[in-house]
Amino acid sequence: MVEKDTSMVKYYLFKIIIAGLVIIAVLWVITPFIISILYAFSDPTDYYSKEIIIPLHYTYEHVRKLVALGAGTAIINSVIVALMTIALSFALGLPAGYAFARFVFPGKDSLKLFIIGLRMFPIIVIAVPLVSLYIRLGLSDSLLGVALAHTAMALPFVIIITSSIFAGIPKELEEAGLIFGLDRTGAFLRITMPLALPGLAAAAIFTFIMSWNEVFIAAVLTLTNRTLPAFILTSAMAATDFIKFAASFIMILPAMIFVFIARRYLIAMWGITLR
């Protein structure tokens, strides 16, 4: 962003301000992460000392203890549930989001509101009837069951986000495609979809995170096949601080990796859009 008429001084001043703002923002966000990761591996004596701010002695003991108790299986369970949730909620939500963005039809606003409204009921109260329903359906204590519930939770947001993404892509492009001989499906797949991909990737991350961090449903619906948050809630929250930090660390790590991978994907897709 080079201003056309600026002197060198103004240009560098601008650069310094930008750098300063970015550094403040980044520090603000990552300091708690760094602290909690350090504490997750901290020796208890250092952690509880009044004088030692940054621990000097480290141990793998807390994390090892958690993994030995089944955190590993729980991570795999959580990933499976999150991926199933993404697949299901996109299969159902994408068409609906497209319909809300591209068509004018009677009852559109009410329908949209109705779908959002359905989700607004707090999970805590929904969980109990859901458990009995699941037992009747033979879905209790299964990962698919959790994924189905998470899909219900994520679906309204997938619909809203996708409809906003599609609405942000000029309809005229698609119409131009129609004129040049594509049918509606073709126009959607070859024009709208590629343009929407970065946004959709963001929506997928959002869905993943929502499923990954959801505790209440997972804790109530599973008993032996715990997802990670449910496992941590029931086995680590009763423990001392450093075990909690170790638990937070195990929880954050895979999600961080996922976001990291998705971020590369996002940047690449932004490249296509901005070309």
Partner 1 sequence: MSYYSALTKTAAIIIALIVIIAAAGIGYYIITQQAQPTKIIWVSTQLVPPEEQAFVKDQLLAEFTKETGIQVEFVGSSYEDLATRLESEEGAGKVTISLIGELHGGLDYFASKGWLEDLGKFGALSGRTFPKVLEDYSKLHGIKAYIPWMTATYVMVINKKAFNYLPDDLTQDDIMQGTSKWTYDAFLAWAKRLYEETGGPKVGFPAGPKGLFVRFLHGYLYPAFTGAQVKNFDSQDAVTMWEWLKELWQYVHPSSTTWDAMADPLLKEEVWIAWDHTARIKDAIATKPDDFIVVPVPAGPKGRGFILVIAGLAVPKGAPNEDAAWKLIEYLTRPGTQVKVLQNVGFFPSVNEATGAVPEGPLKILASGVNKQLGTTDALVALIPSLGAKGGDFKNVYITAFQRIVQNGEDIQAVISELKPQLMGLFEETGAPLPPPDV
Partner 2 sequence: MCKLFSKYILIRGVFIAMPSHPSFVEKYLPYILIAPALGYMLFFIGYPLIQAIYLAFTKNGALSLENLDYLLHSPFSKFYEALTNTFLLVIVIIPIQVAIALGLAMLFNIKFKGRNVALYSIILPLTISDVAAGLIWYTMLSTNGFFNKLFINLGITSEPIYFFGYQFRQMEFLAIVITEIWRATAIVFVIVFAGLQMISQEHIEAAEVFGANVWQRLRYIVFPMLLPSLQAALIIRTLFAFQIFGVVWTLAGRDIPILAGEAYYEQVELKHQGVAAIYALVIAGISVAIGYLYIKLFKAKYLEAGT
Residues within the interface to partner 1 (CB under 8 A)? 44, 48, 50, 65-66, 68-69, 80, 83-84, 87, 91, 127-128, 131-132, 134-136, 140-144, 147, 189-191, 193-194, 197, 219-220, 223-225, 233-236, 238-241, 243, 272
Radius of gyration of the chain (CA): 24
The one-letter code for the residue type at 41 is F
What is the C-alpha to C-alpha distance for residues 270 and 194, in angstroms, rounded to an integer? 10
Nearer to partner 2, 80 or 255 (CB): 255
Contact yes or no for 160/247 (Cβ under 8 A): no
Nearer to partner 1, 115 or 201 (CB): 201
Q: Is 16 in the site for partner 2 (CB under 8 A)?
A: no
Work out how close the CB of 207 gets to partner 2 at its nearest, in angstroms, rounded to a whole number. Answer: 11
Work out how close the CB of 75 gets to partner 2 at its nearest, in angstroms, rounded to a whole number. Answer: 13
Q: Is 248 in the site for partner 2 (CB under 8 A)?
A: yes
What is the C-alpha to C-alpha distance for residues 254 and 251, in angstroms, rounded to an integer? 7
Burial 111-142, CB ≥16 within 10 A → b, else e:
ebeebeeebeeebeebbeebbeebeeeebbeb
Q: Is 157 in the site for partner 2 (CB under 8 A)?
A: yes
Helix (H/G/I), strand (E/B), else coil: 107: coil
2 binding partner (options partner 2, partner 1, none; Cβ < 5 to 8 Å by kind)? none
* Binds partner 2 (CB under 8 A): choice among 82, 212, 226, 246: 212
* Binds partner 2 (CB under 8 A): choice among 16, 76, 116, 268: 116
Work out how close the CB of 244 gets to partner 1 at its nearest, in angstroms, rounded to a whole number. Answer: 9
